Amino acid sequence: MYKVLIVDDEPMIREGLPTLIPWTSHGFEIIDSASNGKEALEKYRNHQFDLIIADIRMPEMSGITLIETIREHDKDINFIILSGHADFEYARKAISARVVGYLLKPVDEDELIEYLEKLKKKLDQQHTLDELKMSNQTVLKNNFILSLLHDENVDQKTVEDELIAWQLNSKEYQIILLKFLSANNMDIDEVKQLLAQAFEPDRGALFSNDSGIGMILKDIPKTQESYQYLLETIKKIVHIYDPVISISEVVTSIEDLSEAFRQANQLLEHHFFFEERGFLSKDSKPIIPPQEVRMERADVYEAILDSYAEKLYFAIDIASQMGIEERLIEIAQLLVNERSTEDQIKRYYFRILSSVLNKCSAEKSEIQSVLSEVSESMVDIYKQTNLSQLMNYIQKLLMKIMSSLEYGDQHDQMKRLEDFILRNYHKHLKLEMLAEIFNYNSAYLGKLFKNHTGEYFNTYLDKVRIENAKKLLNQGFKVYQVAEQVGFTNVDYFHNKFKKYVGSSPSTYRKKVK
């Protein structure tokens, strides 16, 4: 809507003119009124109007004087003159003052509407031209900034002139980059406009880049309060889009802007590895710092990762929340050490969790509905925005499985371990791996287990396997089948263990039973 000020010393005109026609239907809105030219001039200085409708004859300051005074500073504002006299002299002065129209009182509705329609068409055209001009200026400025940031070969004199033209000449610069993690239904132009209103030209200039929106800051006071105000101002505008905001170090020459941009961009690309929700800077601490320990062989690396599916399954089986937490951290550390990307990390976690679900599905048929729910939720692994969120989300899914299982009243750790062996004797069990899950030193766990059962861990496991082997032999299974089903990968080794604990070979034992 275009804004209108009515100026007339007659109250009947000031009050009646707003009701004469449906102003908004014609694109105009009466914002205010004044009783004389002097009052109108004051209101003009404090507000912005597109059209002033003024009486010619008024006390203190006439309409013509009002027009001439405003025209000294504003060549574009529009006027419609009101007069109670059909006087040629008044009309001549109105024409010389470049007014839109000249209306006699009482005002004719159709004549007023005709003037308004012509004026609206003119204002609409001007508005379109202004937007186009502003858009072209924005494109030119953006291209100039990008040429500096990408270190393009630009003439030094041209650079200096453009820095002054865009009000970017400064002694110190910093680059800020914004990436939006929730950009659905985002009006990027509106966001840029709001940021520009907050920062341009005093604090710097905005530009668009591949990641989102960037800013060149100039001469920012290097105080905590200054940066906090800067951060709060940005977040107030863009917080609903979940922004990640990186900031470069301060540079003192325009030639170093490309390095500052590269630094801020690299921080933005690696935001997944940081929990930072303030400015992401070179001083930001990663969630899990990389260690200089890397696998030389890819197959070893893959095998270690795959082994964590079994460890997590065992942690669920013995109801060890700590075991789940620590295994997830170990996986993350391994992946970070290998310099895995965000996408690679999410894919590895997805693969490991899928393997855990498969193991649970095969062993724990009573919780199939819960496993289905967890499986459907796995797609959200790819929506987690940093490593900490990702680990917490996967832990939440694993805890959902664990909480659905019945564990009875197994409060005693050694009883739980003993029960775990009785249920999983056929798997590849090692004391060291179980010590990790139960959060014990392996030697100490072995001593606790010996005190509890009277047997060393390996002896106890062998005896459990042999007892179950005897049952399978009784059912008529062949020796090699029994060996495999109770956890022995080598038939000869099974034969020796069986003879040690039973006193005869498996074949002889089966004949005796028959």
Whether residue 410 is predicted with pLDDT greater than 50 in this model: the reply is: no
| Confidence (pLDDT) at 411 | 47
Compare 278 and 351 and report the one with higher pLDDT.
351
Determine the Cα–Cα distance for residues 56 and 59; give it in Å rounded to an integer.
Answer: 10
For residue 92, the Cα-to-chain-centroid distance in whole angstroms is: 64
Percentage of the chain with pLDDT > 70?
Answer: 92
Determine the Cα–Cα distance for residues 489 and 387; give it in Å rounded to an integer.
Answer: 38
Those residues whose C-beta lies under 8 Å from the C-beta of residue 286, and which sit 6 or more positions away, are 273, 274, 336
Q: Are 174 and 260 in contact (CB under 8 A)?
A: yes
Tokens found for residue 120: 């609206």
User: Of 464, 514, 465, which is closest to residue 487 (Cα–Cα)?
Assistant: 465
**What is the separation, in whole angstroms, between the first and last Cα of the chain?**
101
- Please give the CATH architecture assigned to the domain spanning 2-107: 3-Layer(aba) Sandwich (3.40)
Whether residue 84 is predicted with pLDDT greater than 80 in this model: the reply is: no
Domain positions in the chain are 2-107, 164-280, 288-407, 413-514
Which of 28-42, 155-169, 242-256, 322-336 is predicted with the least confidence, judged by mean pLDDT? 155-169
Those residues whose C-beta lies under 8 Å from the C-beta of residue 151, and which sit 6 or more positions away, are 258
Whether residue 210 is predicted with pLDDT greater than 80 in this model: the reply is: no
Which of 130-139, 199-208, 309-318, 490-499 is predicted with the least confidence, judged by mean pLDDT? 130-139
Determine the Cα–Cα distance for residues 427 and 440; give it in Å rounded to an integer.
Answer: 21
Measured at the CA of 87, the angle between CA 83 and CA 91, to 5 degrees, comes to: 75
For 469-499, b/e burial (b = at least 16 CB within 10 A) is bbebbeeebebeebbbebbbeeeeebbebbe
Determine the Cα–Cα distance for residues 235 and 250; give it in Å rounded to an integer.
Answer: 21
Helices within 239-320 (DSSP H only): 257-269, 298-317
Whether residue 20 is predicted with pLDDT greater than 70 in this model: the reply is: yes
The rounded mean pLDDT for the chain is 86
In CATH terms, the superfamily for domain 413-514 is Homeodomain-like (1.10.10.60)
Tokens found for residue 220: 């920012």
The arithmetic mean of pLDDT across residues 166-187, rounded, is: 88
- What is the pTM for the complete model shown? 0.60
Those residues whose C-beta lies under 8 Å from the C-beta of residue 415, and which sit 6 or more positions away, are 452
Whether residue 154 is predicted with pLDDT greater than 90 in this model: the reply is: no
For residue 254, the 8-state DSSP code is G
CA distances from 78 to 21, 126, 442 (A): 19, 13, 89
Q: Are 56 and 90 in contact (CB under 8 A)?
A: yes
Measured at the CA of 434, the angle between CA 429 and CA 435, to 5 degrees, comes to: 140
Helix then strand count (H, E) for the chain reads 21, 10
- Please give the CATH architecture assigned to the domain spanning 164-280: 2-Layer Sandwich (3.30)
pLDDT digits (tens, 9 = 90+) for 345-402: 999 999 999 999 998 998 888 889 999 999 999 999 999 999 999 999 999 999 999 8
Helices within 425-478 (DSSP H only): 431-438, 442-453, 457-474
The arithmetic mean of pLDDT across residues 146-175, rounded, is: 80
Number of other CB atoms surrounding residue 156 within 10 Å: 9
Residue 90: pLDDT band with limits 50, 70, 90: low
Determine the Cα–Cα distance for residues 499 and 434; give it in Å rounded to an integer.
Answer: 28
Dihedral of CA 54/55/61/66: which sign?
A: positive
- Please provide the size of the chain in residues: 514
| Confidence (pLDDT) at 94 | 58
The arithmetic mean of pLDDT across residues 293-297, rounded, is: 69
Tokens found for residue 272: 């997944």
The arithmetic mean of pLDDT across residues 20-40, rounded, is: 93
SS3 state at 142: helix
Q: Which of 82-91, 267-276, 415-424 has the highest mean pLDDT?
A: 267-276
